[in-house]
Each structure stands twice: as structure tokens, then as C-alpha cells.
Structure 1
Amino acid sequence: MAFPQVLSCPAVPLSNGLQIPILGLGTSYHGGYSHDGVVYALTECGIRHIDTAKRYGCEEMLGKAIKESGLPRSDLWITNKLWPGDYGYRAAKKACLDSCAEMGLEYFDLYLMHWPESLRPGRSNREMRAETWRALEELYNEGVCRAIGVSNFLVHHLDQLKEDCSVVPHVNQVEYHPFQQPYHLIEYCRQEGIVFEGYSPLAKGQVLSNPTVCRIAEKHKRTPAQICIRWSVQNGVVTIPKSTKKERVLENCRVFEFELDKEDIDSIKKLHDGRHVSWDPTNVE
């Protein structure tokens, strides 16, 4: 049974006036792409925000799914990411344009530096970040990217970028789930007008059997996944859960039909233990 347009999704304003949908569909190179799942998310669930990266290897397929959906490009929010192997001024500009061509798009709504460490030898990470960011600033000024940002950047990376460049990132996309709640980074981003976006909201499944989350799920007659996603968006965090299964995509979208109360929020806040289920940028200079 189809549930067309079940999603009535709030948006979060960026510092440049654009509005990013607070809930999107993530993709991944670890079995994280399903053509049918993406088309279903767009056409049956009302998803309008898709997150991908060159690293994931699904740009061409994702472009076909977007085209197959029949939705106007202006209705969609498409985020892509620049892999560190493409850092540097010329390489970054070429990689972005190549990704646009691969997906059959004229522009990205958001383009992110994927990681604070460069994979290109001979220059410091700070120098490469600054040079690469200048390329993204040009792409932004040229309209190839409607917004630009970073992923996995910590406070010191953002501070350096602010000193070295002229455009403050519009978004910082970081691992965020009940076990990983980087309060200091979140507060810094909000003070600087940087929208905080979280990936891996289910901690790659680790949180789904947590007794606190399961208790709250039972209380609201929802699934543990819905509790975690609802917790993220209710905290104002742009959230991009991944799924290849239609029923899970639909489930993940139905988080605007209920609210967590303060007791729930406080209980989940206590689950923070600092663990990473993905890359940890702590030691990147």
C-alpha cells in the first residue's frame, strides 16, 4: 500500500537564506544505494533531500533515479561531497563539475568538503583546506553550488578556515546519534551561523537495542529508529538516515507524526558516551 506524500518536512534556514529540509535520505558505498528505494522515497514518501558523495560511487545511478522521479529540479535538495583525493584548487573545481555531469545536474544545492585531512602529499592539511575552500567559494559565486560546507570538521578546523577564507561554511555535517552528541561543536556552529547536520543517526544500528530507546519507543508506540530520528530533528539537527528498503524509508519519514517529551529528550541525552561508529577526525591537524 502506497502512502503518497506522507512527509510534511520542516526546513532549516542557512545563513545565505536558503532552506534545507531537516530530513533527507542518505546514500553510502557500503550497500547504501537502492535505485528503487530512492525513487520510492521521492515519489511516494515526499522526500526532497538526497545526500550523496563521489566516494559512494552511485552518482550516475542516483542521477537516473532523480530523473525517473519526474520531480522538478527546483523542488529537490541535492547534497554532494568532495573526496580528499580531489583537494586543491583545480582538482576541486574539476571534481565538482565532473560530479554534476555524472548526475546530469547543472548545480548542487550543497557541496561539502568530505574530510578535514588531505590525501594529497606535500602541503599541510590547513593549506590544502584553505586552497580547496577557495575553489568552493568560486563554485558558490558562480552558482554551481547554491551553498557550500564541510563534513567531519571540528572547532579548530573551522576556526582555521574562518581565518584563511572569506565565506563561512553554511553547513557542517558530522556523526550525530545518542552515543555521539558533540555539544561543544554544536554550540560553536550555532554561534557562527553554521547549520549542524548529523549522519549515522542510528549509530549503524547500535542504538536500536538500547533499553532506554526501546522503552521510549514502546511508550510512543513507535520503532527505536523513529525515536532516534525524531530526537535528532526535534533537536534542530538536519538528519539523513540511510536505508535501501522501502518499508524502512517510509518508517523513517513518519517522524513528524509525534513528539518526544522533555523526559524522553533528557533520557536520550544521558546516553552520550563519545563513541564513534564512523571516522573520527579528532587527531586530524
Structure 2
Amino acid sequence: MIPKYTTDRISIPRLGLGTWRLAGASGQAAVESAIGLGYRHLDTAEMYGNEEMVGMALAASGLPRAEAFVTSKVWWTNLAPDAIRTCCGMSLRRLGLDYLDLYLIHWPAKGMDLGAALDTLVALKEEGLVRAIGVANFPAGLLRKALAHGAPLACLQVEYHAMLDQSRLLEITRPAGMALTAYSPLAQGRMAQDPVMMAIGERLGVTAGQVALAWLLRQEGVVPIPKAGRRESQAANLAAIDVAPLLTEDDLAAIAALPKDRRVVNPAFHPDWAA
């Protein structure tokens, strides 16, 4: 049983399955495998082009809807109110669902009407089409502005791993009762090759990747969503839940000493991360 992070705004499984680049029959098989292993948190987005596949896997698994936690996201070019509403409806149809557990603005857009976009998310929540709302890839200043608008944001999704500091964001999300979902929690494979992670893993009899996930799971409100297509990798990622309490203070100090400025996802339309 995967534990949950629960606040007055959200109750979200502490480990999820990222589905970026999972597609087709092999992608569906991967999602079905994850559900069979015990994953209950599935993360997708309209931009991934795989919502229909995720929905098919969920249906084929036979998992009761109430036991699944499904996140999707609206792309940054679709943040006008009517577009958000249309995109949410299309995501629901592709997934074959009546509601989303969490719906996020995928990236901020320059010149967007943030208040109008947030008001639309609130309306979708009030109408029961989404259970919780949030944002992704918002820097600290923009996140504060979004919270000041008054929308009940329940989650921030950002790149987060042992080589990228996100303490400024956690200082905002935790008091607000928001989860911080960590995408690319293994830094797209870089964690598996890191000597510090490998040394800790060798002592504990686990992999460097499991150490990296365990480090995130030790932190209040942090929800890693590693992508894994292979059943063996999915099982290993789940096992990181049991590794988390084994990390010592020396382990945590060694990880804290790693570089913290190694961002791996930085598209041309990214916001000013320092803002």
C-alpha cells in the first residue's frame, strides 16, 4: 500500500507513475503492469498524446475509479478560459473518465491572464469535473501570485531531484497545504550514475536510483513520479518507499553536498526560474 500525503487541499499517493513518452500497446502494457504492482497515481497530460492509452490501461485493469488518482494538464498555449474548459473536456473523453483527481496548468505562458485561468480551474472544480487544481513549472514569485489570487491550489509539479534545489518552492507549498510533485526525480538517468548515490546504495544493498527516490520520499509533501516502462523498474521504484527510513544523517549530508543547480528540463518557453 502506497502511503498518501493528505492536507485540507489534497490526498495524493506519495509515489506515482510518470507516463511521458509511454505510448501505444507497449505503453498500455506498462501502465497496466504498474497498476498490477500497486501504483494508484497516474500522471499524464494533453501534450503527452497518451491520455487515451492511459484510460484504456485503467479500464483494462479493472481498478475501481475511486482507487485511482489521475492527473492531467492543460498546455501553455491553451490558457484562455474557453480553451482550458475545452481541453479539460477533451482530456476527460480521451481518458474515459467523469472527473480528474488533479488538473494542472502545465507551464505558465508569457502574457497569460493568470487570474482568468485560475478562475476557470476553480469553476471546473466547483462543477465536479476535477477534484483538485494546481500548477506546474511555476517559479516562486509566480506561485505566490497565484496563491494570492485565492485559488485553492493543491499541487505544484516541478522538476526536483538531488541535484536541483527547490527549497524556495517547498517553503511556499508546505504552509499552503500543497503537494510538490517531483518530475524527472532521477534526473533522467543521471542519479543512477552518481558516485554518492551509488555508494549509499551499495551500503544499503539497493540501487542509486532507489536512494534518489528515497531521498525525495523522506521530505514532507514531496511526491516523486518516476517514469518506468519496465516492470522491474516499476517494482524497484516502489521499493524505494521502504528505503527512505534507512537513510542516515550522514547519507543525507552527503546528498545535501551534491551540486544543486543541474536542471535537465528547460525548454525554450521556460519561465525565469529565479523570479
TM-score range with shorter-chain normalisation?
Answer: over 0.9
Q: Between Structure 1 and Structure 2, which shows a larger proportion of helix residues? A: 2
Structure 2 residue 193 is the aligned partner of structure 1 residue 203: no
Query: Aligned equivalents of 2:94 and 2:271: distance in 1?
Result: 33
Q: CA deviation at 1:228?
A: 0.7
Unaligned runs of 5+ in 1: 1-7, 119-123
> What is the correspondence of 1:114-263 to structure 2 with a 5 Å cutoff?
114-118=106-110, 124-125=111-112, 127=113, 129-163=114-148, 165-236=149-220, 237-258=222-243, 259-263=246-250
259, 263, 267: which is aligned to 1:276? Answer: 263
Q: CA deviation at 1:191?
A: 2.4
Deviates more, 1:22-31 or 1:200-209: 22-31
**Structure 2 equivalent of residue 88 of structure 1:** 80
State the secondary structure of the residue aligned to 2:162.
Answer: coil
Query: Aligned equivalents of 1:175 and 1:15: distance in 2?
Result: 24
Q: CA deviation at 1:30?
A: 7.2
In the alignment of these two chains, the number of paired residues is 268
**Structure 1 equivalent of residue 50 of structure 2:** 58
Structure 2 residue 4 is the aligned partner of structure 1 residue 15: no
Query: Aligned equivalents of 1:53 and 1:105: distance in 2?
Result: 14
State the secondary structure of the residue aligned to 1:111.
Answer: strand
Query: Aligned equivalents of 1:84 and 1:117: distance in 2?
Result: 6
Deviates more, 1:32-41 or 1:189-198: 32-41
Query: Aligned equivalents of 1:159 and 1:19: distance in 2?
Result: 22
Contact 1:49/1:78, CA 8 A, preserved across alignment: yes
The one-letter code sitting in structure 2 at the alignment partner of 1:274 is D
**Structure 2 equivalent of residue 67 of structure 1:** 59
State the secondary structure of the residue aligned to 1:80.
Answer: strand
Q: CA deviation at 1:270?
A: 1.4
Contact 1:174/1:198, CA 8 A, preserved across alignment: yes
State the secondary structure of the residue aligned to 1:256.
Answer: helix
Give the TM-score of the pair, scaled to structure 1: 0.89
**Structure 2 equivalent of residue 79 of structure 1:** 71
255, 261, 265: which is aligned to 2:252? Answer: 265
Deviations 1:1-27 (A, max 9, x none): xxxxxxx211001333x4100000001
The one-letter code sitting in structure 1 at the alignment partner of 2:83 is A
Deviates more, 1:251-260 or 1:53-62: 251-260
Query: Aligned equivalents of 2:21 and 2:125: distance in 1?
Result: 27
Contact 1:229/1:252, CA 8 A, preserved across alignment: yes
Structure 2 residue 21 is the aligned partner of structure 1 residue 29: yes
Query: Aligned equivalents of 2:199 and 2:265: distance in 1?
Result: 26
> What is the correspondence of 1:88-107 to structure 2 with a 5 Å cutoff?
88-107=80-99
Contact 2:18/2:226, CA 8 A, preserved across alignment: yes
Deviations 1:126-156 (A, max 9, x none): x2x2211111000011111100000011111
33, 36, 42: which is aligned to 2:35? Answer: 42
Give the TM-score of the pair, scaled to structure 2: 0.92
**% identical aligned pairs:** 34
Query: Aligned equivalents of 1:282 and 1:113: distance in 2?
Result: 13
Q: CA deviation at 1:102?
A: 0.8
Unaligned runs of 5+ in 2: none
Query: Aligned equivalents of 2:242 and 2:170: distance in 1?
Result: 26
CA-atom RMSD, angstroms? Answer: 1.8
Q: CA deviation at 1:192?
A: 2.4
